[in-house]
Amino acid sequence: MTYCVGMCLKDGLVMLSDSRTSAGVDNIATFRKMTVWERTEERFLVLLSAGNLGVTQTIVNHLEAGLDPDARKLTDMPSMFHAAQLVGEAIRLVYRIHGKALEEMNAAAFNVSFLLGGQIKGDEHRLFEIYSAGNFIQASDRTPFLQIGEHKYGKPILDRALAWETDLRAAAKLALVSMDSTLRSNLSVGLPLDLVVYRRDAFSAEIRRTIDGDDPYFRTIRDGWSRSLREAHQRLPDVPW
């Protein structure tokens, strides 16, 4: 299991992923689920993945090496829409190659999903969620965040506090609170985390950081949020019946 969240806001993007994978309680490993492509002053792309690790890594490799017959790479796409389309094509390609064999061996279902965020020169910064069928949706000013993986624990804080106009640094803080809620409630999501903050038209990351359990700021977020929740609960009136 995993948890990834992407935010598309007025000023840019925030992308956050965990790195735990598990195939049972005694087979837990750490793999990066964030891939970043950067070309100075031209494009900046971030891809987050959830689902079968062997499948998602194969899809990312196809995007980097190029899809047949024209060897089209993610970094060659003329717009973010075309980039999202290519991710969908890569998913369908890998399904055609491996999907039947996985099903015949009773392996994990072909269930993958991706968040693709970024900006290509001449295009707005955009964020897409791409499903295992290769189709996708786009974040908007009314729905400024998208999630994949184990998302239910981290969604309430975003529903309550995140808006299109939210400052990028404040949004990154909300993303970390959302992740902490998931870490506390689901052992299949785990540290370290990968965080990217991208400011519109910069074509490079404003923040790109790996966060582990010893990170002092993340410890402050975890402890402060728990304390604030306890204090808020205590301030609420008791039930009147």
Q: Where are the beta strands (DSSP E) in 106-192?
A: 112-120, 126-130, 136-138, 145-149
Residue 22: what pLDDT? Answer: 64
In a domain, 85, yes or no: yes
Whether residue 107 is predicted with pLDDT greater than 70 in this model: the reply is: no
Tell me the average pLDDT of the chain: 94
In tens, the pLDDT along 134-184 reads 999 999 999 999 999 999 999 999 999 999 999 999 999 999 999 999 999
Total domains present in the chain: 1
The CA distances from residue 176 to 55, 112, 117, 121, 232, in Å, are 27, 23, 18, 29, 19
In a domain, 241, yes or no: no
Whether residue 3 is predicted with pLDDT greater than 90 in this model: the reply is: yes
Global pTM reads 0.95
- Which amino acid, 173? K
Query: Which domain range does residue 216 map to?
Result: 3-235
In a domain, 83, yes or no: yes
The CA distances from residue 96 to 57, 91, 101, 102, 213, in Å, are 16, 9, 10, 11, 40
What CATH number has the domain bearing residue 14?
3.60.20.10
Tokens 């269930």 identify what position?
111
What DSSP designation does 98 have? I
Residue 143: what pLDDT? Answer: 97
Whether residue 65 is predicted with pLDDT greater than 80 in this model: the reply is: yes
**What's the pLDDT band for 17 if we cut at 50, 70, 90?**
very high
In a domain, 171, yes or no: yes
Nearest Cα to Cα of residue 43 among 64, 74, 72, 70? 74
In a domain, 25, yes or no: yes
In a domain, 189, yes or no: yes
